[in-house]
Structure 1
Amino acid sequence: MQRLMIADTSDVVRKVGKRILSELGFLVVEAGTDREGLRRCGEEMPNILIVDAAMDGALDLIGGVRGLPGGDKVRIYYCVIEADLKKMMIGKRAGANDFLLKPFDRKVLTATFGTLAAAA
């Protein structure tokens, strides 16, 4: 089973995302802050990390994960509210692999992560 972490300050976003992604077959962990996310990644590295761009320390979290042993193998999704090219490029430079638009729903998460869960 693939591990997926959702790092977002919103309890609602984390809970909804966790419910949907768990149903897709992921083992989902949550982090409400960049520090909590980095600590949890240090304890057990996820295969996939979703980081909310609006979270304080989001870029630090991405860079920190990339610096951890095995952090280069994590697929990181930088979650933005709109397709803001400047913000997306900043996330890419920090180490994000891909992007996810908020608000997301079951259809978006299934389309994005459904095949990744099946690949586990």
Structure 2
Amino acid sequence: MERLKNHREFVAVLKRRRRVSDADIVLHYVVRTPSTPTGAAPARRLGLAVSKSVGNAVVRNTVKRRFRVLAHRYEHELPADCDIVLRAKPGAAHASFQSLEAQIQALFRAVMRKSEQS
């Protein structure tokens, strides 16, 4: 899974206002099409947003590492040309790995289900 690398790419995903959420995570997404300006290469791309409200730098980096591992583990459950931004809620700092895993898996499945409907 590639990464969203600059502010413009993050804004393109957040501007679409398509999201699904759970207790500790909000997932913003856009399924790219050939006419979508952000999509040149057919790949899934990931961006992470973990604000200071989650905790200090050590806690934020721990949450980001967990998100990266889980996103790579379940990326096959996302559409092929999909950009996602995982945004941590403050509770993500205290959530167990298993809880985050269940949430991300459910969110990825919800994105796949919604993208198939539209």
TM over 0.5: no
Higher Rg: 2
TM class by smaller structure: 0.3 to 0.5
TM-score (norm 2): 0.35
